[in-house]
Amino acid sequence: MTTPPTRNIFIELELSLDPPIIEVGAMKEHLEKEKIPYWNNNKGSQQKFERFLARAKSYIADGLPQLEEQGKKARAEKYDELTSQAKIINEVGVTEKSRKNLVNTFKAFFKPDTIEKLVPLGGPGGSSDPDDGFVIPTCPHALNCDKPVSYNDMVDISDNLHVATDGKCHSLYELLKVHERDKTADILTKATAKAKEINDITNKDVKANALNRLSGKFMLFFKNDQERSKYDVAIKRFSFEKHARTKLIHYVEGWTTKKKTDWKQYHIFIDEVKELGYTQEESAWLVYEYFCLPEGKKCPLPEKPKHGTGWGKHEQLRAYLLALFNDSIEYHRSSHPRIKNKLQSVVERFNEDIEPDSVENTVSEILKDLRKFWKACGYDGIVLNPLFRPTTLARFPSSTPSFSNVKVYLQQKFNANH
């Protein structure tokens, strides 16, 4: 008898996800000693408790399978629901009643403190909140570790795994042929046997040397739960760390120098990180930790932009310029960091609200300043490509309100004889 794949014990029985209980023994004890007695005593007051009792006993009989997977899936689903509703409340204005209603809606899954942080009183919606709409995220359980294995060590482990297994294994768990849910003591037993097997290799070739380096790592990581957690969190963070070093780092200098973190771009980064496979909660924390914590890059907290008049009749021009310069950032991904940082600073300027009467002068100043920068890059010998991708610039409109010569200027000053 197996639990239907469409069911989720955490959602079906309204169990806490802050954090979810993922150990079978702990879940069995939680259900039998806390939940089942409570539901049994109160089934007359709420009809759903009778259903909970039957389903809990069924789950226990099945052996409580796939708790970790179900916990991750349930937390991601419910936290997305929570943040979506919190966003609406923040937009219309947080009140004591709306905050209390949100807590009551999600109290089965999240602690009141977790929920209340998303809808601070005196926050967005006509508030005196100093961060003007920015809510500091909470570190998720899956990323909570004082000192995870460093990124450089993880790169070395990844490289050695690739050499030792011809790319077949991507983690020490796979190398040892164990599951991430196995007990640490059981993994250590297999790790000890594997280390002896590696040590007995007589032909010390490149693969054997890589395996020997890895044996030192897994004998350390799996000696106890504390060391193991440092490796587990590092695995969880690894794809984000690679992303941060290839993209996010190019925004740091501009934001710290200007002492301003772009609100819109900051939240675009959260969406990008989510596409790497992280939950909304994990993505929000990783981006915040990377940019804003003292041990991170210490950029200022992003401030929600005030509602202004925008660019007025020039909004279409702004859209064209943003598309062109964002494409140029991608085009110069492998160019000198000075070029990428400058392009990003220009994008940030175009994202700012400008009084419609000042748009022409401001755009002219930005482009003239960019022209000086581009000439200096040419003198320094770091210009290998035109500033804009030729095919993208070709699609830039030849005429926009009050700016009929912008395309010609961009072609002549930045793409011709670069």
Sorted by where each begins, the domain ranges of the chain are 1-133, 136-304, 312-415
Euclidean distance between CA atoms 287 and 348, whole angstroms: 18
Contacts of residue 326, Cβ cutoff 8 Å, sequence gap at least 6 = 347
Euclidean distance between CA atoms 140 and 248, whole angstroms: 21
- pLDDT per residue over 43-76, tens digit each? 877 888 888 999 999 999 999 988 988 988 898 8
Q: Which two tokens stand for residue 230?
A: 């440092």
Residue 130 has pLDDT above 50, yes or no: no
For the chain, give the mean pLDDT.
Answer: 85
pLDDT band at 4 (very low <50, low <70, confident <90, very high): very low
Q: What are phi and psi of 224, to 5 degrees?
A: -160, 170
Neighbours of 114 (CB within 10 A): 18
Euclidean distance between CA atoms 317 and 128, whole angstroms: 34
Q: Sort residue 290 into left (φ over 0), alpha (ψ -120 to 50) or beta.
A: alpha
pTM, entire model: 0.52
pLDDT recorded at residue 5: 44
pLDDT recorded at residue 178: 93
Q: Which two tokens stand for residue 391?
A: 């095919």
DSSP assignment of 45-64: T-THHHHHHHHHHHHHHHT-
pLDDT recorded at residue 237: 95
Contacts of residue 241, Cβ cutoff 8 Å, sequence gap at least 6 = 151, 154
pLDDT recorded at residue 404: 61
Reply yes or no: is the peptide bond before residue 19 cis, omega within 30 of 0: yes
Neighbours of 382 (CB within 10 A): 13
Angle at 26 between CA 22 and CA 27, to 5 degrees: 65
Q: What 8-state DSSP symbol labels residue 281? A: H
Euclidean distance between CA atoms 204 and 164, whole angstroms: 12
DSSP assignment of 184-239: HHHHHHHHHHHHHHHHT--S--HHHHHHHHHHHHHHHHTSSHHHHHHHHHHHHHHH
Q: Which of 397, 314, 313 lies closest to 363, judged by CA?
A: 314
Instruction: Report the pLDDT averaged over residues 172-179.
Output: 94
Instruction: Report the pLDDT averaged over residues 234-254.
Output: 91
Residue 403 has pLDDT above 80, yes or no: no
Most confident among 95-99, 228-232, 346-350 (mean pLDDT): 228-232
Integer-rounded Cα radius of gyration of the chain:
27
- pLDDT per residue over 100-113, tens digit each? 889 888 999 998 88
Instruction: Report the pLDDT averaged over residues 387-399.
Output: 84
